[in-house]
Structures are given as C-alpha cells and as structure tokens.
Chains A and B, each alone.
Chain A
Amino acid sequence: VLEDDDCEDLVALMTSYQAGQVRAFERLYALLAPSLFRYFESRSAHVASDLVQETFLQIHRSRHTYTPPLPVQPWVFGVARNVERRHWRRSRRQEGRLLDLEGMDRTAVALGARASSRVDLGDLEDVVRRLPASGRDAWLLHHMHGFSFPEIGARLRIEAGAARLRAHRTMSAIRELLGIARRKRND
C-alpha cells in the first residue's frame, strides 16, 4: 500500500505522463509495478511478470482514460483486471485448441484410418519440425498459439489469406505424414 504522499505523487506523475514525459512513466513503473506484481502473483504466479508488463502496455495505450485528479491506483488496478480477464480468455481459447489437437488423435482412431495412427505428441513434434519453416510458423501460430490469420499475416508480413493457405497446407501435410484421415464435417 502506498503512502499518502506517494498517492499525490502518482496523480502528478500521471499528469506528467499524459503530457508526454517518459521519466514520469519510469517513476510510475517503479511505484506501481511491485503492487501489481503481488496482485498477479496471488492469482497466476507463473505469468505474473508478463502480466505486469502487459498492464503497463495497456496503461500506456489507455492513458487518456485517466482523469486527474482522481486517485491513480483504482484506475491502474481496473486496467490490471481488464488485462487479467483477457489473459484468462486467451488461455481458455488456447486450451480449447490444444484439446482440439488431442481430438484429432481420437478422430483418427475413430475413422479407422490406420490401426497404428494414434498420434503421440513426440511424433507430432517430429513431423512439425520436418515441415518447411514458412508453413510451420503459420500453423503453429494459428493452431497452437491461437492467433487469428490477420494477426499472423501482420506478424509474418504476408496477406491474411496467404497465412490461412499456409496453415491449411501444413495441416494437410501433417495429417498425411501422420497417416490421419481428413475429418468429416459432421464429426
């Protein structure tokens, strides 16, 4: 918990930061990062450090939403809660995609593509390593990390459609290499 003087400092610092002073941002970070770190550590310790940085990035982006002379800390923790909520949503989406990947294994068995077609993660990793880097990146970013195709396109500096095509071709190649039959739409 910050002292009263620090709270007054925060308002002044936030005002300076909104005016474009980078020193004010550094000072704000020094004052607020420890309490933010403790906040995130009590909820999701393994990503606390990342979430603190994300929060400051969001603070930077949303700095115009702070209205002086209101207290800074409730605003900062409001931003932190927003970042945390997004983190959980993103995690759930990624878990869903990983489960989908596991489902691919079950589907392959169900379709009876081959008696020995159970996918173990070691095989999958091995196959993915053997694929061309361009397609592999698009596939990994989409299916393992949950990026959308426009996001992948921006990251790889290609069109979203090209990213989709690469990921699709890579998925087909993986299926072929692992001997998994294409899933039917109704499954």
Chain B
Amino acid sequence: MTESNVPETLLRYVANDLRPVRPLAPPSRRALALVPLGVALLVGAPAFWGLRQNLNDLGAALAWGVSGLQSLAGLVVVGFALRESIPGRELPRGRLAALLTGGASLMVGITLWTSVVVPTAVPPGADWRYFWECFGMAVGPGVVAVTVAAWMASRALPARPAVAGSLYGLGAGLMSDAGARLFCWVTSPAHVLLAHGGVIACLMLLGAGVATVVERRRPSLRHGRGNYSISFGR
C-alpha cells in the first residue's frame, strides 16, 4: 500500500456503505431546537407546582424577566456544548472557563439580588425538608433536559465528552432552575445555593457521566460491532 492509495478493504467498505448524508446544522441552530423545552421548563414547573406566593413582591422583571434571561443563558451554554462535541471545534480553555464561571456567577448573582429585594427564609427546623423538596422538584425536569442535550451531542463526536457533558449539564441546570425559582418562594442564599445550586452541580456531574458512557459505548471500529466491523490486514 502507498500512503495515498486507499486500502482495498477500506475502499470496499466505504463504497458499500456510502450514501448521501445531510450535514449537521450549526450548533447555534441546533440549540434553537431546545427552545420549546426551555419554555416548557420555565413555564411548566411553576404551572405544575404553583407560582411562588411572593411573586408580586419580586415584580415581573425580577421574576419572569430574570428567569427568562437565565433560561436563555442555559440555552446558550447548551449551544456551546453542542459546538464542543464537533471534532475540531473544541472550545479554548479560556472560553470554557468563562462559560463555567459565567454560568455559576449568573446563578449566584440572581440569588443574591433576589434575596436583597425580597428577603425570605426557610421556616426554622425545616431546612432539610425544603432542601429535598426543591431538589426533587427541580432535578426531574433537569434530567429531561440533560437527556435531550446528550442525545443531540451524541450525534457528533466529542473529543472531550466529560467537558461537553458538563457544559450541557450546566445549561440544563440553568434552564431547570429558571423555572424552579418561580415556584420556590424562599430567597435565602443558603437554601437557594445549596438546593437549587446543588441541582445544577448534580446535572453537570450527570452530564459528564452520561457523555463519557455514551462515548465509551460508541461502536468500536476495529473490533467491529454490526455494520462497522472491519478488519485491517496485518
């Protein structure tokens, strides 16, 4: 074999399997497919669990406006995760760090702002109950978002699956929390950062784990499963 000639086995395999494919849309456009899910998480959670009792004290801007902004930020982060999943389009470390710190800062910033405008605390002795309630209510929708994002990312070929997974976990967490802060009336930073922030952290871990497992279970090339079985002559 010369280096510029296609080995016969490879050529035969490619020729037999070749059919037209449609290129993946740009990550930004693919992320737009998650808009309905983002809206569902934003509106669905408070519609199901009930709007927070002090919503009027917050005002429309700090309630719906900020939640919408947080949901949008989550969508943008998922878009970057989809970009990270494409070979050769991995994010530089600086941008990656900016995304992670930006996402966390946004959540912390909104929490502190909300707690200053309408300070409310968890009733005495109910810390853990409130923690688990909020955690449970927010994590379910977040898992749905992570699942959808994981499926979208798995259509590409992430070189750093854990990074891509963490990013879409962060995005899903922000989208999920955008809805959660509309039904949870507590604004105490300790509760919000621990319970709601904990959901985001768990979704990031889940995303990283799912992406890694999906990548490792991708059909092997040399050792062939099903259609991709091919042996190279030695």
- Residues of A bordering B, CB below 8 Å: 18-22, 25-26, 29-31, 33-34, 37, 49-50, 52-54, 56-58, 60-68, 70, 73-79, 81-83, 85-86, 89, 145, 147, 150-151, 154-155
Chain A neighbourhood of B159, CB < 8 A: 78, 81-82, 85
Chain A neighbourhood of B19, CB < 8 A: 20
The answer for the CA separation of A138 and B26 in the assembled complex, in Å, is 44
Give the shortest distance, in Å, between B88 (CB) and chain A (any CB).
Answer: 3
Residue of A18, A53, A82 touching B87 (CB-CB under 8 A): A82
Interchain CB contact under 8 A, A25 and B225: no
Interchain CB contact under 8 A, A54 and B222: yes
Give the shortest distance, in Å, between A58 (CB) and chain B (any CB).
Answer: 6
Interchain CB contact under 8 A, A79 and B157: yes
Give the shortest distance, in Å, between B197 (CB) and chain A (any CB).
Answer: 32
Known contacts A76-B88, A150-B225, A151-B225; A18/B20 CB under 8 A: yes
Residues 212-234 of chain B: 1 if any A CB is under 8 Å from the residue's CB, otherwise 0? 00001000111111101110101
Binds A, one of B1-9, B32-40, B68-76, B98-106: B1-9
Q: Is the interface of A mostly helix, strand, loop or mixed?
A: helix
- Residues of B bordering A, CB below 8 Å: 1, 3-7, 10-11, 13-15, 17-26, 86-90, 155-159, 216, 220-226, 228-230, 232, 234
The answer for the CA separation of A49 and B2 in the assembled complex, in Å, is 10
Write the chain A residue with the least CB distance to B85: A65
Chain A neighbourhood of B216, CB < 8 A: 89
Interchain CB contact under 8 A, B87 and A151: no
Interchain CB contact under 8 A, B24 and A65: yes
List 9 tightest A-B contacts by C-beta distance, closest first: A78-B87, A78-B88, A74-B88, A75-B88, A20-B20, A30-B4, A64-B21, A79-B87, A29-B6
